[in-house]
Amino acid sequence: MKVLGVVVEYNPFHNGHLYHLTEAKSICDADFTVAVMSGNFTQRGEPAIVDKFARTEIALRCGVDLVLELPCVYAVQDAGGFAFGAISSLAATRVVTDIAFGSESADLEALEKIASILVEQPPSYLRFLHEELKKGHSFPNARRIALMRYVAYEKLFDPSTLKITKRSNDILGLEYIVNAKKLGLKTTFHVIKRIGSDYRDENFKGTFSSASAIRRKIKEGDFESAKKALPDESYSIIMREMDAGRGPVFYEDMEKLILGTFRTMTRDELNEFAGFNEGLDQRFVYYAVRSGTVQEFLESVKAKRFTFSRLRRLSVYPILKMRKKLVEESNEKGPQYLRVLGFNEKGRQLLQLIKRLAPIPIVTNASNYLNISKKATKKERYEHFEPDLFKDQFELDIRATNVHSIFFTNSEERSYERDMRLGPVIIVSKPWNRHN
Amino acid sequence: MKVLGVVVEYNPFHNGHLYHLTEAKSICDADFTVAVMSGNFTQRGEPAIVDKFARTEIALRCGVDLVLELPCVYAVQDAGGFAFGAISSLAATRVVTDIAFGSESADLEALEKIASILVEQPPSYLRFLHEELKKGHSFPNARRIALMRYVAYEKLFDPSTLKITKRSNDILGLEYIVNAKKLGLKTTFHVIKRIGSDYRDENFKGTFSSASAIRRKIKEGDFESAKKALPDESYSIIMREMDAGRGPVFYEDMEKLILGTFRTMTRDELNEFAGFNEGLDQRFVYYAVRSGTVQEFLESVKAKRFTFSRLRRLSVYPILKMRKKLVEESNEKGPQYLRVLGFNEKGRQLLQLIKRLAPIPIVTNASNYLNISKKATKKERYEHFEPDLFKDQFELDIRATNVHSIFFTNSEERSYERDMRLGPVIIVSKPWNRHN
């Protein structure tokens, strides 16, 4: 039995995602497909354009069998933390045999070689890395240059191969392989060459446009263009959500909340949360009172060594309460649950199997989470289960949902405590009927 | 020399305020008039419609000589805390000889009698109060009924006199007298009978309309009506502020910030702030995730024993960081500074005198506050000065300004850290020229 695992945000699910999914399923001849998906906040530090239940439904309609939530504590971290949480979740299912990811280079061999260096961390590589960081490079850049120097120094392989550590999907893929190696997984990796535009390319390119270009079209109200880049299932569900006033939600909607939060915090208070090192605590506090918009705020805080994604993530940490302690423990001990966001008939079968094998509890009905944790402490199979960490990780997911829904246009939908009231999305019907 | 002191919010300064001010000055034959004014947040827990510098300018143009800021820690408290801070500030000037306040009853004798009971707190009165509070009445109601029972029981005077403790201006006036008695002040009190509508009357009544009715007209964009109820000086400055994009600011503008703050707080975190007793911590946390608007939020939290003003105040406490410890210390030790918001030529002379007499430091240039505190610790005259409390009180005022300006419509004005960059408003010109 082949079970394909993918790590996704689907913000929103577009034609490129559909191509990737179809290719991946075909390449590894998958019997089942399970996706680990970010919840209501993404790795760019943004609220998702429509909420996780809607994005789950789209994923199921488009060919995923089971959708699990990547806990927020990992979803809103850098590539390293994100990949650790995602690969740990896929590993915890105990059923995933293959993992596929999109890649600009599609050079799996090179990624494997580089991953080995990153896992083994030879001293001369670490020295180069340290030197490059001291020069003020951002971490991804410093790492890329250090790798290049190391590979040239040790004459391992053609350093030009390392140009692939420059592009976002390759960077994430690399982290997937690194984390799988560290966890000792025997999963087979597959790369799918990305088609169409880079995810950072905000220019709309028609059928194969990036998620950010599509979000921008939706923000501008140009739904006709967005439609061209989205599978019908995705477009219909997004429109349905918008009609109901559950989105679209954008980072800029959080402007007053973000400015209000940072204008009233001291550096000490900020340091309770993860990531405010390298003088960032001071920069955030200093510029909050000197910026009139979130855009201006991030641009002021920005320095060469920080990426915008990192700053945007940090800008939501005090709101979501991403505490230092929680992030550190989570990065050491891994996710403490598998949250089921939705499944189809095949997904249900797979879930039965996962329930029997997983080393951490499965959360299907979120409102029951405290009970699930209580029972889990008594189960022998969950020998490494940490109830306090479970609670902290899970309550962060709930908070993220409750912050996200504040920005729904329909105020009645805002007051609906979604995680507590909605069960998983279950699709038992025949394939999507376009005329319904 | 007669120096008149008044306690005001001027949110905004309207015809009723002008009448009150003119009457008061005439009744006590004042040589100078000093106003203690709320800053950027008011006793109703709302951001002021235009900021404190604009409201200061209006006050000076309309006949006040010196405007001092009521520190935010008092301005956003119930009548008791508000009055304590205001009367302590007027007392600290050491020059105020007369205090005038607006009153529905204008029955000073009755107010003095009731104040004596409240200061002396005889045991039988306290027992009645306790009983009424236990019945679930709000504090003002319980106190009124307890007073009535006490007066009847002791056969002191006609209990019907006590109906005056039901109306907002009388309640505040009573607190002024109570606090003056407690502080042992020899100031003469004057009452000015209110004309026009009750401050709670949100119906627009033309020339003499309440501040809330006027704010509503401005919110609706009906500036022509608002104009009828405002002195020319007030109207022009409000229009100028709005044209510059510095307002109007309304409580509802804070919706996302308030919901975002309460949706991400635990009861324990909330209890760090003042006033979340009587189960209010639980009610605020519970309803935050179940309310789509701030209106709905307050209505859900509301119970018989809580007034809306109290709930609205509490709703901004965690944002402004009105910590329990700060409020308690402030209510024990009084304001630690006199912040000068503005003055005219006469005000400048008065200020010179106050500087020589006041038992707490004068802050004229806010950006210099840390230095002022440092020097104050060395001055013998400031024997009760507490530098830590000074810092906490003053930084709350700064935070209140920085939160308030987030809601300016012009984003460039938002980023202007006003307390640090603006000096006091100084009016040295001839009286306001309508044709300028």
Question: Do B292 and A415 count as a contact with CB atoms less than 8 A apart?
Answer: yes
Question: Do A257 and B257 count as a contact with CB atoms less than 8 A apart?
Answer: yes
Q: How many helices (H) and strands (E) does chain B have?
A: 22, 8
Check residue A117 and give its pLDDT. 93
Q: How far is A264 from chain B (nearest CA, A)?
A: 6
- Rounded average pLDDT over A108-132: 93
Question: Do B414 and A292 count as a contact with CB atoms less than 8 A apart?
Answer: yes
- Rounded average pLDDT over B330-340: 98
Q: Which residues in chain B are closer than 8 Å to A264, comparing Cβ atoms?
A: 319-321, 399, 402-403
Check residue B429 and give its pLDDT. 66
Residue B155's pLDDT band, with cuts at 50, 70 and 90, is: confident
CA–CA dist A393, B137 (Å, integer):
41
Q: Are B33 and B8 in contact (CB under 8 A)?
A: no
Q: How high is the mean pLDDT of chain B?
A: 93
Put simply, whether B290 touches A (Cβ < 8 Å) is yes
Measured from the Cβ of residue A190, the count of other Cβ atoms closer than 10 Å reads 18
pLDDT over threshold 80, residue A162:
no
Range scoring the smallest mean pLDDT among A67-76, A196-205, A369-378, B255-264? A196-205
- Rounded average pLDDT over A12-26: 97
Residue A431's pLDDT band, with cuts at 50, 70 and 90, is: low
Check residue B61 and give its pLDDT. 97
- The DSSP-derived string for A323-357 is BHHHHHHHHHH--S-EEEEEEEHHHHHHHHHHHHH
Residue at token pair 């208070």 = A269
CA–CA dist A88, A47 (Å, integer):
23
- Rounded average pLDDT over A17-27: 96
pLDDT over threshold 80, residue A381:
yes
Check residue B75 and give its pLDDT. 98
Q: Are A88 and A335 in contact (CB under 8 A)?
A: yes
Range scoring the smallest mean pLDDT among A7-21, A27-41, A69-83, A190-204? A190-204
Q: Which domain holds residue B147?
A: 119-166
pLDDT over threshold 90, residue B297:
yes
- Rounded average pLDDT over B54-67: 98
CA–CA dist A49, A58 (Å, integer):
13
Q: How far is B24 from chain A (nearest CA, A)?
A: 39
Question: Do A399 and B254 count as a contact with CB atoms less than 8 A apart?
Answer: no
ipTM: 0.92
Q: Are B322 and B273 in contact (CB under 8 A)?
A: yes
Residue B58 inside a domain? The answer is no
Tens of pLDDT, residue by residue over A36-48, are 999 999 999 999 9
Asked if residue B122 has a cis previous peptide bond (ω within 30° of 0), the answer is: no
Q: How high is the mean pLDDT of chain A?
A: 93
Check residue A155 and give its pLDDT. 81
Residue A225 inside a domain? The answer is no
Question: Do B260 and A319 count as a contact with CB atoms less than 8 A apart?
Answer: yes
Question: Do A256 and B291 count as a contact with CB atoms less than 8 A apart?
Answer: no
Check residue B183 and give its pLDDT. 95
Residue B431's pLDDT band, with cuts at 50, 70 and 90, is: low
Which secondary-structure segment (H or E) carries B98? Answer: strand B98-103
Collect contacts of B428-433 with beta carbons under 8 A, ≥24 apart: B428/B344, B428/B345, B432/B61, B432/B232, B432/B233
Task: Choose the final residue of a domain: B111, B141, B166.
Answer: B166
**Residue closest to B25 by CA, chosen among B346, B425, B353, B358:** B346
Sign of the alpha-carbon torsion through B187, B192, B198, B202: negative
Tens of pLDDT, residue by residue over B163-196, are 777 788 888 999 999 999 999 999 999 999 887 6
Cα dist. A358→A86, A337, A404, B249 in Å?
15, 9, 30, 53
Question: Do A411 and B320 count as a contact with CB atoms less than 8 A apart?
Answer: no
pLDDT over threshold 80, residue A432:
no
Question: Do B259 and A406 count as a contact with CB atoms less than 8 A apart?
Answer: yes
Query: For the packed helices B387-404 and B324-333, what is the interaxial angle rounded to 10 degrees?
Result: 120
Put simply, whether A320 touches B (Cβ < 8 Å) is yes
pLDDT over threshold 50, residue B436:
no
Residue A313 inside a domain? The answer is yes
Collect contacts of A223-229 with beta carbons under 8 A, ≥24 apart: A229/A14, A229/A15, A229/A204, A229/A205
**Which one is predicted more confidently, A434 or B372?**
B372
Task: Choose the final residue of a domain: A283, A310, A330.
Answer: A330
Residue B434's pLDDT band, with cuts at 50, 70 and 90, is: very low
Residue at B55: amino acid letter: R
Residue B136 inside a domain? The answer is yes
Put simply, whether B82 touches A (Cβ < 8 Å) is no
SS3 (DSSP) at A190: strand
Question: Do A259 and B321 count as a contact with CB atoms less than 8 A apart?
Answer: no
Check residue B423 and give its pLDDT. 93
Measured from the Cβ of residue B370, the count of other Cβ atoms closer than 10 Å reads 12
Check residue B198 and give its pLDDT. 57
Count of alpha carbons within 13 angstroms of residue B134, beta-carbon side: 6
Question: Do B259 and A320 count as a contact with CB atoms less than 8 A apart?
Answer: no
Instruction: Give the number of domains in chain A.
Output: 2
- Rounded average pLDDT over B331-356: 97
Range scoring the smallest mean pLDDT among B96-100, B113-117, B297-301, B324-328? B113-117
Of B290, B406, B412, the CB nearest to A256: B406
Nearest-Cα residue of chain B relative to residue A316: B260
Q: Which residues contact B276 (CB under 8 A, 6 or more apart)?
A: B270, B284, B314, B317
Residue B137's pLDDT band, with cuts at 50, 70 and 90, is: confident
Tens of pLDDT, residue by residue over A229-287, are 999 999 999 999 999 999 999 999 999 999 999 999 999 999 999 999 989 999 999 99
Task: Using the CB atoms, write b or e for B90-113: b if 16+ within 10 Å.
Answer: bbbbebbbbbbbbbbbbbeebbeb
Nearest-Cα residue of chain A relative to residue B404: A260
Q: Which residues in chain B are closer than 8 Å to A273, comparing Cβ atoms?
A: none
Range scoring the smallest mean pLDDT among A214-223, A387-396, B59-68, B413-422? B413-422
Put simply, whether B291 touches A (Cβ < 8 Å) is yes
Tens of pLDDT, residue by residue over B96-135, are 999 999 998 888 998 999 999 999 999 999 999 999 999 9
Put simply, whether B319 touches A (Cβ < 8 Å) is yes
Tens of pLDDT, residue by residue over B200-249, are 567 888 899 999 999 999 999 999 999 999 999 999 999 999 999 999 99
Q: Are B271 and B281 in contact (CB under 8 A)?
A: yes
Question: Do A292 and B407 count as a contact with CB atoms less than 8 A apart?
Answer: no
Put simply, whether B295 touches A (Cβ < 8 Å) is no
Q: Which residues in chain B are closer than 8 Å to A414, comparing Cβ atoms?
A: 259, 291-293
Tens of pLDDT, residue by residue over A30-76, are 999 999 999 999 999 999 999 999 999 999 999 999 999 999 999 99
Check residue B426 and give its pLDDT. 97
Residue B125 inside a domain? The answer is yes
pLDDT over threshold 90, residue B344:
yes
Of B256, B264, B411, the CB nearest to A292: B411
Q: If contacts are CB pairs under 8 Å, which of residues 374-433 in chain B contact chain A?
A: 399, 402-403, 406-408, 410-415, 417
- Rounded average pLDDT over A375-391: 94
Which residues on adjacent β-strands are paired with residue A70? A38
The phi, psi pair for B34, rounded to 5°, reads -120, 135
Residue B308 inside a domain? The answer is yes
Task: Using the CB atoms, write b or e for B8-27: b if 16+ within 10 Å.
Answer: bbbbbbbbbbbbbbebbbee
Q: How many helices (H) and strands (E) does chain A have?
A: 22, 8
What pTM, to 2 d.p., does this model score? Answer: 0.93
Q: How far is A341 from chain B (nearest CA, A)?
A: 21
Task: Choose the final residue of a domain: A162, A185, A214.
Answer: A162
- Rounded average pLDDT over A301-317: 94
Question: Do B263 and A406 count as a contact with CB atoms less than 8 A apart?
Answer: yes
Q: Are B49 and B248 in contact (CB under 8 A)?
A: yes
Question: Do A256 and B257 count as a contact with CB atoms less than 8 A apart?
Answer: yes
Residue A191 inside a domain? The answer is no
- The secondary structure of residue B273, as a DSSP letter, is B
Residue A150 inside a domain? The answer is yes
Of B253, B291, B402, the CB nearest to A263: B402
Check residue A428 and give its pLDDT. 83
Percent of chain A with pLDDT over 90: 83
Q: Residue B397 region, left (φ>0) first, then alpha (ψ -120 to 50), else beta?
A: alpha
Check residue A433 and give its pLDDT. 46
Tens of pLDDT, residue by residue over A101-110, are 999 888 999 8
Percent of chain B with pLDDT over 90: 83
Check residue B309 and give its pLDDT. 94
